[in-house]
Structure formats: C-alpha cells, structure tokens
C-alpha cells in the first residue's frame, strides 16, 4: 500500500486539536474546503484593487483556517502578507502572490485527499487500531 506524502499540511495538527475525534476532524476538514477557497478569492480581489485593509482582514481570517490544518508554510506567508498589508507594501504582496497561490493549491489538494481518506471506512478502522480505540 502506498503511503501518501504530505508536503503542505500536517493532519496531526487538526487531529490533536479535536482530541483525535475522527468525525470532528472530517467535519472541520470539509468546512476548510467550503470556506477557504472563497477567502482566497477575496485575497486575490483585495490584491487586484490594492485594498490593503481588506487584504489584511482576509489574510488574518485565512491564517486561522490554514493553521488549523497544519499548513505551516502557507500560514507564514499569510502572516507576512498581513504585515505588509498593514504597512501598505502592496508591491511585496504582488511579488509573493504566485507563491501564495501555489501553496494554497497544495494545501487544498492535500486537505481534499485527507477528507477522502478519512471518509473511507477502512482508513477509520486502521486509524482506530493505531490509536488503540
């Protein structure tokens, strides 16, 4: 069996946050997939119209969401974007946008993978055996 290699998220962060409750893990992962893309759209919009206040608010909101799924690198970039926004350094934000887009796509892809795996009964059974449940 092939072991999936995570590059952009650490599912253990969310599992720890929900005290290893697999249902809560799945629900929060699905919520991430439901709300995070719209947050990213608002970030793109704020950048395109150079609205540093909107960008700061949206970056801050997405930071909470990405940190919950263990997306360390994306969260750090978003923190920098938020700082630059408050300093109205929009040129720096524009320069980092391709990296932000790449990382977000990777995080989204890995959260999608995790939700598929988590929804699988065999995965749940294996997880519970590993946890001694």
Per-residue pLDDT of the chain (133 residues; tens, 9 = 90+): 457 789 999 998 998 999 988 888 889 999 999 999 999 999 999 999 999 999 999 999 999 999 999 999 999 999 999 999 999 999 999 999 999 999 999 999 999 998 888 777 666 666 555 654 4
What does the buried/exposed string (b/e) look like for 7-42 if buried means 16 or more CB atoms within 10 Å of the residue's CB? ebbebeebbebeeeebeebbebbeebeeebeebbeb
Predicted TM-score (pTM) of this structure:
0.87
Asked, for residue 1, whether it belongs to a domain, the answer is no
CA–CA separation, 50 and 107 (whole Å): 25
Q: Is residue 96 part of a domain?
A: yes
Report CA 78 to chain centroid distance, whole Å: 11
Q: Is 99 domain-assigned? A: yes
- Structural domain contains residue 3: no
As for how many domains the chain has, the answer is 1
- Residue 47's domain comprises 11-127
Q: What is the rounded distance in angstroms from the CA atom of residue 55 to the CA atom of residue 17?
A: 27
* Alpha-carbon span 91 to 84, nearest angstrom: 9
């Amino acid at each position: 069996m092939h072991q999936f290699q995570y590059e952009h998220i650490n599912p253990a962060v969310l599992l720890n946050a929900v005290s290893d409750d697999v249902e809560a893990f799945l629900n929060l992962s699905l919520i991430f997939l439901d709300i995070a893309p719209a947050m990213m759209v608002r970030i793109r919009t704020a950048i395109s119209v150079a609205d540093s206040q909107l960008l700061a608010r949206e970056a801050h909101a997405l930071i909470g969401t990405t940190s919950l799924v263990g997306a360390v690198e994306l969260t750090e970039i978003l923190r920098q974007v938020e700082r630059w926004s408050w300093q109205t350094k929009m040129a720096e934000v524009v320069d980092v946008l391709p990296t932000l887009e790449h990382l977000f796509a990777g995080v989204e892809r890995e959260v999608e993978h995790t939700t598929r795996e988590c929804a699988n009964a065999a995965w749940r059974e294996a997880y519970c055996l590993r946890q001694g449940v």
